[in-house]
Structure 1
Amino acid sequence: MSNFLTNSSSNPNPNKSIEVNQPPTDSISSLNFSPKSNLLVATSWDNQVRCWEVARDGTNVLCSAWKDDGTTVFSGGCDKQVKMWPLLSGGQPITVAMHDAPINQIAWIPEINLLATGSWDRTIKYWDTRQPNPAHTQQLPERCYAMTVKHPLMVVGTADRNLVVYNLQNPQLCKYLLALTIVTLQQVEFKRIVSPLKYQTRCLAAFPDQQGFLVGSIEGRVGVHHLDDSQQAKNFTFKCHREGNEIYSVNSLNFHPVHHTFATAGSDGAFNFWDKDSKQRLKAMLRCSQPVPCSAFNNDGSIYAYAVCYDWSKGAENHNPATAKTNIFLHLPQESEVKGKPRIGATGRR
């Protein structure tokens, strides 16, 4: 697989993407599209949650997990709370979850009607948003760094390179009544593995077919991991977001909702599109002048949103508020950029 990266640029928007108006005033920590529409939510270090309606003609109307009906946003952060924002009704946000340390992962799981939250307090908690206490608290081996859910698969990445896999359809795992009361919720690990990458886990993405997951690290490398023991020969890792001796973090992994290829975004300011089945890079985009800390596809894959801003990977001493502008851009992928290609060679070897 090619590791070539385009040259650095002082331009924050070398790919000529559509710029989102009125971006946050500080670094962006997450981006998420509504599962039902082109509503885009961003959370940022200025303690704000913002929402835009993205029209396909490129204009934006102002307004980080979404509820599956597209009406509600959940946001969490360093105040150790999760707030539920009823966007369409115009109601006030309410606190629906709490941890003992900052919350950095949120996932709404519609199949069991629960909110999952991951924290540096070494727990995953499950919440019925109608109840004040968690339905269940699952202890983790270390601090939660990343989480991905594609029901019934759930993977949690923690410090010390632990990857903990849960099967959300396991009868022993979740007994939940879709009423006002919770009978019991028991969580058991399906599998725990050590990350195939040698350095700290930065991001995760479950395969669309729930048969495995991607893991990205701070060392500019992605691992492709299948859960079935009979498929282990298909596992591999590859380098990305590097230039010469410079190595950058892989900050975000997103599967295309239609073609099931995926995008990586990194601290080098680049985002690239890949096909794991043919082990090829489909498109390398030009590097922006600042890191890309987070990204997201909309529900049909026609829009790829990405943030360009300082990501704090080099510490506060390298942050200059006077020059570190924050941007959100919208890239409209061409089919050639995101549609998978046949494996090169008759035998599939490159």
Structure 2
Amino acid sequence: MSLARGKTATSATKGLLDKDVELPKGPQDSVSALRWSPVADHLAVASWDGRVYIYDATNSTSTDTIKGVAAFTAGAPCLDCDFSKDGTMAAGAAADKKIHVMHLQSGQTLTLEGHTAPVRAVRFVDVPSANAPIIASGSWDKTVRYWDLRQPQPVATLQLPERVYAMDAAGPHLVAVAADHHLHFANLHTNPVQVWKSLKSPLSAQTRCVSLCAGGTRWAVGSIEGRVAAQVVEEKDKSLASLTFKCHREPSPTTKNQTDVYAVNAICYSPSHKDVVATAGSDSNCVIWDVHTRTRLRTLPKASGPITALSFNRDGFTLAFAAGYDWSKGYMHHKPGTEKIVLHRFAEALK
């Protein structure tokens, strides 16, 4: 089904500021992931140029007031990034089969090695039994590995039937979307190394991205065919009916009665409301949805190119998105230097 386009939440209408703020120039290639610190307005940026950049956006009134405060090099394309729960560390997942971690205050870095294929996703996760910060990494080697930073080798491994295409974690849950077209869930509080639930994706095409809401009670996925699905994790939770809808589609400018379909490259729940989801696509659009009322809340101004990543900050007042080339048309269409990271600020959290 398509979500209603005419209904717009009042808070979204009056909460939108007129001007976006672009971050200072940093990545020299497409941005693969954006992640905000859970304790500060610091933004981590993973790029295909092989680096993870850290920005301080505490004062984000203009480009000049946003500072690049750190960067660390993986030596291979970085496919994902994340902050530790206390905001003191940042991690990057890289195509060199490694996880690269930086202690932001000291600038010291360490490398975690153990995967046998590129690492697609990384998250700092809450595993109460560990009594230490734990990193979960999802790889094309068909595993999710758990790392205690006090040890050089993974402390546990979750075996999956196929390669990890996307992964997220929140509250007690970790979800990995694999090449077998299934979502595989692990309970981090009871048994992180066992899949306790596997669901076939309700979307018919390849899944590109996944997000869990704050607390980990809901999930949402986006596919290459311009569709999104959102559901609850626990069947006993009746707060959201199963939902799938078309998005990131536009009338063809050259062919009458034809619709061009664009991939959903990124999806993210707002931390301030479990009903609000943002999606970004190869059509250069970022759209905010209410999955409970099944309405489109807002379409942001069209970006300068395909949007490759997005992320809400910790209070839901700022949405960061990255525009650049998404490699959908091959290397011959890549134009270096077109990458932009933009902060879209709301006067109040969407709800």
Which interval holds the TM-score relative to the shorter structure? 0.7 to 0.9
Alignment of 1:177-326 (within 5 A): 187-230=193-236, 231=238, 234-244=241-251, 245-260=259-274, 261-321=276-336, 325-326=338-339
Counterpart of 1:7 in structure 2 is: none
Indicate how the Cα distance of structure 1 residues 304 and 138 shifts in structure 2: closer, same or farther if over 3 A, else same: same
- Would you say the 8 A contact 1:220–1:250 is kept in 2? yes
Q: Alpha carbons of 1:88 and 1:3: their partners in 2 closer, same or farther (altered >3 Å)? A: same
Does the CA contact (< 8 Å) of 1:3 and 1:240 recur in 2? no
Separation in 2 of the partners of 1:232 and 1:331? Answer: 29
Rate the CA distance shift 1:233–1:330 in 2: closer, same or farther, 3 A: closer
Match for residue 116 of structure 2 among 94, 97, 100: 100
SS in 2 for 1:234: coil
Partner of 1:2: 4
Question: How many aligned residue pairs are there?
Answer: 311
Q: Distance in 1 between matches of 2:41 and 2:311?
A: 11
Cα distance between partner residues in 2 of 1:169 and 1:48 = 32
SS at match of 1:317: helix
Aligned to 2:33: 30
Against the structure 1 CA distance between its residues 3 and 249, is the aligned structure 2 distance closer, same or farther, given a 3 Å change threshold?
Answer: farther
* Aligned residue identity for 1:136: A
Return the alpha-carbon distance in structure 1 between the equivalents of residues 26 and 248 of structure 2. Answer: 25
Compared CA separation, residues 51 and 225, structure 1 to 2 (3 A) = same
Using a 3 Å threshold, how does the CA distance of structure 1 residues 200 and 312 change in structure 2: closer, same or farther?
Answer: same
Structure having the higher strand fraction is 2
Deviation by residue 1:125-184 (Cα, 9 ceiling, x = unmatched): 0111111111112211111001111121111101131111112222xx15xxxxxxxxxx
Amino acid at match of 1:196: P
1:74 matched to which residue of 2?
91
Q: Does 1:17 align with 2:20?
A: yes
Task: Report the CA distance between 1:3 and its aligned residue.
Answer: 6.1
CA distance in 1, matches of 2:179, 2:29: 26
Which digits, 9 at most, give the CA deviation of each residue in 1:99-130, with x for residues without a partner? 11111100101344311000111111011111
Identity of aligned residues (%): 37
> Could you tell me how far apart the structure 2 residues matched to 1:259 and 1:334 are?
15
Tell me if the contact between 1:111 and 1:151 (Cα under 8 Å) persists in the aligned partners: no
Unaligned residue ranges in structure 2 (runs of 5+): 7-17, 70-80, 252-258
Evaluate the alpha carbon distance shift between residue 210 and residue 42 of structure 1 in structure 2; reply closer, same or farther with a 3 A threshold. Answer: closer
CA distance in 1, matches of 2:240, 2:320: 34
- Residue 187 of structure 2 corresponds to residue 167 of structure 1: yes
- CA deviation vs aligned residue, 1:224-244 (integer Å, no higher than 9, x gap): 122333549810101111112
| TM-score when normalising by structure 2 | 0.84
| Distance in 1 separating the partners of 2:303 and 2:196 | 40
| 8 Å CA contact 1:67, 1:110 repeated in 2 | no
Amino acid at match of 1:98: G
CA drift at 1:47: 1.3
Q: Distance in 1 between matches of 2:165 and 2:119?
A: 10
Q: Is the 8 A contact 1:103 1:117 kept in 2?
A: yes
Report whether the alignment pairs 1:144 with 2:148: no
1:43 is matched with which residue?
Answer: 46
Post-superposition shift, 1:193?
1.2
Deviations 1:176-232 (CA, angstroms, capped at 9, x unpaired): xxxxxxxxxxx2221111100001111111133433311111111110122333549
Letter in 2 for 1:86: H
SS class of match (2:123): strand
Counterpart in the other structure of 1:129: 149
